[in-house]
Chain A
Amino acid sequence: MSLLEVSDLTVSFGRRRVEAVRGVSFRLEAGQRLGVIGESGSGKTVTALAVMGLLPENAHVSGSVRLAGTEIVGRSESALAGLRGDVMSMVFQEPMTALDPTMRVGRQVAEVLRLHQGAESGRARDRVVAMLGEVGLADPERVADAFPHQLSGGQRQRVILAMALINSPDLVICDEPTTALDVTVQALVLEKLDEVLTAAGAACLFISHDLAVVSQVCDQVMVMLDGEVVEAGTVKELFTAATHPYTRGLVATSRLDLAEPGERLPTVEDYYAGEQR
């Protein structure tokens, strides 16, 4: 049995039933990391939300999402709440909106622990401070007592990482976790993510539009376009032998470091003439 098994997932919205995701199937084994790559509107975030059971009420879902043998689609909110933060957890793009601005971050991390493990507040603090240290925050005691606005973007994102990992979940879903960060901070956060995932042996579904970023964390990649999976394989396979023209275009555009300054950069349209973007 795979840790996560998505089969024929289709998600549509509203009365006109606009399909955001069409017939997506993939599986993820324990400890495996899968990158989901695609541009805005390709359905990658909707896929992740479906896995977490976080789709809005106007979404129509068909197909199946099984997490550790349990069906997610059609499950009640209360049943899902027990899974979230415990069996699976998530890291979102914008750490400022994911944290409560009025609460010290130590308490916010401890809350996750208390909700799922019923730990007492005094004992929880030690675990929280240890976890904040594990994600590479210098002076974790001070960070635990700080409010979100007193931390930098990179520090906040690592607090979110600590929150997502403190219950040792089997699956961590990261939706563009470093897109809002500077390159130097991004490099640091990715390195820590890699470390803590390895230490916890957790599986990861990593969503990004940037192939280079995905390749820092994942070996397996799935390419989404207009709600469908067009190609999947290892990073190496996609780079050396992509079959879909869209994937070849993505690979070409991600190599900004190879281009001669000032010369024309390859675009996705050179390879794949889809809709006008």
Chain B
Amino acid sequence: MTEPLYRAEALTRRYRNGRTEVLALDAVDLSLDAGQRLGIVGESGSGKSTLVRLLAGLDRPTSGRVWFEGTEITGLPERRLGFLRAAVQMVFQDPRSSLNPRMNVGDIITEPLRSRLVRRQLPGGIDHARRLAEVLEAVDLPADSGTRYPHEFSGGQRQRIAIARALAPKPEVLIADEPVSALDVSVRAQVLNLLTDLVAAQGLTLIVVSHDLMVVRHLCDRLAVMRQGRIVEQGDTASVYGDPQTDYTKALLAAVPKIRIEG
């Protein structure tokens, strides 16, 4: 049996808030193969963002272990996480707050290439200007965008900038945390199409976190439903949608707003 790309065992994360303790993630096991597209759905507070932060190495679990390509990342110091930082990139929910307003778009996108940790993992002599042009084209932004600033772009374009930045170090895994929930419905379709195309063209492994089941259904072939820090249901997307096993998943599906036409 080949080693999965990601493996997590009994992942647990507690947050301390004054005297109260919050169990954000409760002994979650997970395994993900290269090339899979995993959707994680659940309400606010279900632990879905905590889970992907642990997978991306942005936070450390209270207990439990995570392996990436067979290497355990849970105990590694930051200086030895370079391989993970280069291979796993994140796109966040709100491009208004995830992009530095004082940097121009070219600097924002190539920043991961200049990182000391990531740089060592990349093949020598990556031409930053060329990589910038490549990723701008990949996300369908004008070639002269690099010299402009985030505020000059619309919400949908800013999310493309965030995606371009994530693509710059040629990652294997793209983790998107609510990639379209801050966007207008009319712009949402564009960004979803872009993600679908990029994942197919670059053979990326994709992890998408969302409270919107329709978004996840569209992007992912595997689905995990989370509630109160646990995965309550998982399987391939079509079967979870077609035949949800838990009442919670059924409730989530029923809550998706549908067009109501009367008269």
Contact = CB atoms under 8 A, between A and B. Distances in A.
Given A253-B186, A257-B214, A267-B189, A184 B43 contact: yes
Interface stretch (B4-12, B54-62, B254-262): B254-262
Given A265-B192, A267-B193, A235 B185 contact: no
B43 A277 contact: no
A62 B254 CA distance: 44
Interface string B44-67: 100000000000000000000000
B120 to A, nearest CB: 36
A219 B263 CA distance: 9
Interface residues of A, number: 42
Contacts of B154: 40-41, 277
Q: Is the interface of B mostly helix, strand, loop or mixed?
A: helix
Among A40, A183, A188, A239: residue with most chain B CB under 10 A: A183
B254 A253 contact: no
Interface stretch (A52-60, A105-113, A158-166, A207-215): A207-215
Contact of A261 (B186, B217, B252): B217
Contacts of B184: 39-40, 209
Contacts, number: 111
Interface string A230-259: 000011100100000000011001111101
A254 B44 CA distance: 23
Given A183-B252, A186-B255, A215 B237 contact: no
A87 B47 CA distance: 43
B217 A277 contact: no
Contacts of B255: 183-184, 186-188
Contacts of B257: 183, 186-187, 190, 210, 212-213, 215-216
A98 B132 CA distance: 42
Contact of B186 (A39, A190, A255): A39
Nearest to B157: A277
A255 B237 contact: no
27 contacts: A39-B187, A182-B44, A183-B213, A183-B257, A184-B43, A184-B255, A185-B43, A186-B255, A209-B184, A211-B185, A212-B185, A215-B259, A215-B261, A239-B261, A254-B185, A255-B259, A256-B189, A256-B214, A261-B217, A261-B218, A261-B219, A261-B238, A264-B193, A267-B186, A267-B189, A277-B154, A277-B157
Given A215-B259, A235-B261, 11 more contacts: A183-B211, A209-B185, A211-B185, A212-B259, A215-B257, A219-B262, A236-B263, A250-B186, A254-B185, A255-B259, A257-B258
The 6 closest A-B pairs by CB, nearest first: A187-B255, A212-B257, A265-B189, A184-B255, A256-B214, A209-B184
